[in-house]
Amino acid sequence: MNLNQTEQQQLDLITRKVEAGERITFDEGVFLDEKVDILTLGALANQIRERKNGNFAFYNTNIHLNPTNVCVYRCKFCAFRADLKSPRGYTFTDDMIRERVQEARTTGATEIHVVGGLHHQKKFDWYLNVVRVIHEEYPELHIKAWTPVEINWFSFMTKKPTRWVLEQMMEAGLSSMPGGGAEIFHPEVREQICEHKADAESWFEVHHEAHNLGLRSNATILYGHYEQAKHRIDHLCRLRELQDETGGFQTFIPLAFHPENTGMSEIHKPSGLMDLKVIALSRIMLDNFDHIKAYWIMLGEKTAQTALSFGADDLDGTVVHELIYHDAGAKTPEGLTVEQLHRLINEAGRIPVERDTLYRHIVREGADWSVGEPILTSAAS
Ligand code: V47
Ligand code: SF4
């Protein structure tokens, strides 16, 4: 690391702030992103990670359901979507949903992760029914569904406020919201990659409303394309602001851009170093988020495992039936077993803990499970 004297002083100040648990500013974040080497970033982030979550590394037993890939939007980074008449397009029937839920039950999944396209011809009731069918089939299963992009679309279709849409979904069985649709909030980048879909203000409005209704949610960033340091740090600062207000975010998930089969295929996939840098910066900047997730599906198992020493404390889960990254060229397996997750975590010198979506300890015997005591880390609230 070649820092001049002023820069070294700035790094020393940031190091003291991290040690004291103080907030890092936007300018300091951009400085860390642009100037500071990965090992220094990793050490700072690891300090925070261990203060918040000790030596634990969390995972969950989950399954994905993308009920349709047909989508009215055309986000440039998306390889998953299909046109209405495309032979690639598919839409789940109720029976197909029930079959997926049965699979979740037999494998002992505690969570189903549901996101998909905005189908040209499906009304709000169809989406509501997806949640209802899952809930009726397996009421104990936690339904983490729909991004603000979808909620915003439902609100547009029904001409009802976001709050009404969320209340209907909660009544049908929705338990929390995933972090997608965030991409990069800054309009300089957002307009290049997904100009038509819900903007940053709408994304925040939906999460704000969800938190007010008592729903917990996640947040993401899509990095490794046209964005620069200032856009990444701006993204993190905006999330930190809402979290100060509501405390409703549970975990932050950096998502590495996968270029294959997308409208941005000229871009190279981010390097392992870039992946670790974004994990570390997220941990350093998001002082009010309890958890940072290294999503092994898109990082690959090796980088995800390494990320457990660079700020991450969670690997997501078994993730059966993932499509969004695999359509975009991810070479990771279609799912990991609990044994494989344990091995990755143990090898990293961490203690594996199975959690539910709300970060409560899962007590398990094969496919039978129950929610145990809260996990006591310094961050546990
Ligand atoms: O919003 C789409 C991203 C997101 C690509 O909350 C891509 O636990 C990389 O929200 N390359 C949806 N990323 C996925 C998502 C998610 C994933 C894992 C865990 C959680 C959680 C949420 O996937 C989209 C977009 O940012 N995405 N295409 C691509 N080619
Ligand atoms: Fe549609 Fe979502 Fe893909 Fe955008 S990212 S095209 S909204 S499926």
CA-closest residue to ligand 1 atom 14: 180
* Ligand 2, CB within 6 Å, residue ranges: 71, 73-75, 78, 80-81, 117-118, 149, 194, 197
Backbone angles phi, psi at 203, to 5 degrees: -60, -45
Residue scoring higher pLDDT (329 or 118): 118
Q: What angle do CA 60, 140, 297 make, to 5 degrees?
A: 25
Nearest Cα to Cα of residue 186 among 254, 128, 239 = 239
Contacts 24+ apart (CB under 8 A), 44-47: 44/14, 44/15, 44/18, 44/280, 44/284, 45/279, 45/280, 45/281, 45/283, 45/284, 45/310, 45/311, 46/309, 46/310, 46/311, 47/18, 47/19
pLDDT tens-place string over residues 162-196: 999 999 999 999 999 999 999 999 999 999 999 89
Q: For the domain bounded by 5-356, which CATH number is listed?
A: 3.20.20.70
Going from the Cα of 82 to the center of ligand 2, the distance in angstroms, rounded, reads 9
DSSP-based three-state secondary structure for 99: helix
Under 8 Å between Cβ of 197 and 149: yes
Is the predicted ipTM greater than 0.90, yes or no? yes
The overall average pLDDT reported for the chain is 94
Closest C-alpha to ligand 1, atom 8: 178
Is 115 close to ligand 1, i.e. is its CB under 6 Å away?
A: yes
Mutate to test the pocket of ligand 2, among 68, 77, 78 (most ligand atoms within 8 A of CB): 78
Atom of ligand 2 nearest to the CA of 78: 3
pLDDT in tens, 350-375: 999 999 999 999 999 888 999 987 67
Task: Give the ranges where 173-271 is alpha helix by DSSP (H).
Answer: 187-193, 200-212, 229-246
Quote the ligand 1 centre to 139 CA distance (angstroms): 26
Distance 142 CA to ligand 2 centre (A): 23
What is the 324 CA–ligand 1 centroid distance (Å)? 7
Write b or e for each residue in 340-360: b if 16 or more Cβ atoms lie within 10 A of its Cβ, otherwise e: ebbebbeebebebbbbbbebe
User: Which of ligand 1's atoms lies nearest the C-alpha of 219?
Assistant: 6
Confidence category of residue 377, pLDDT binned at 50, 70, 90? low
- Segments making up each domain of the chain, as ranges: 5-356
Residue-wise pLDDT for 244-286, tens only, equals 999 999 999 999 999 999 999 999 999 999 999 999 999 999 9
Q: How far is the CA of 230 from the centre of ligand 2 (A)?
A: 25
Ligand with an atom nearest the CA of residue 194: 2
Q: Is the pLDDT of residue 26 over 80?
A: yes
Q: Which of 132-136, 220-224, 299-303 has the lowest mean pLDDT?
A: 299-303
| Closest-approaching ligand to the CA atom of 68 | 2
Considering only CA atoms, which residue is closest to atom 12 of ligand 1?
180
Annotated binding residues for S-adenosyl-L-methionine:
77, 183
Question: What SS3 state is found at 29?
Answer: helix
What ligand has the least distance to the C-alpha of 269?
1
Report the C-alpha gap between 353 and 342 in whole angstroms.
9
pTM of the model: 0.96
Give the span between the Cα atoms of 336 and 341, in whole angstroms: 7
From ligand 2's centre to the CA of 217, what distance in Å? Answer: 19
Distance 255 CA to ligand 1 centre (A): 6
Whose Cα sits closest to atom 7 in ligand 2?
Answer: 73
Residue positions forming the annotated binding site for [4Fe-4S] cluster: 71, 75, 78
- Residue whose CA is closest, atom 10 of ligand 1? 180
Per-residue pLDDT at 376? 61
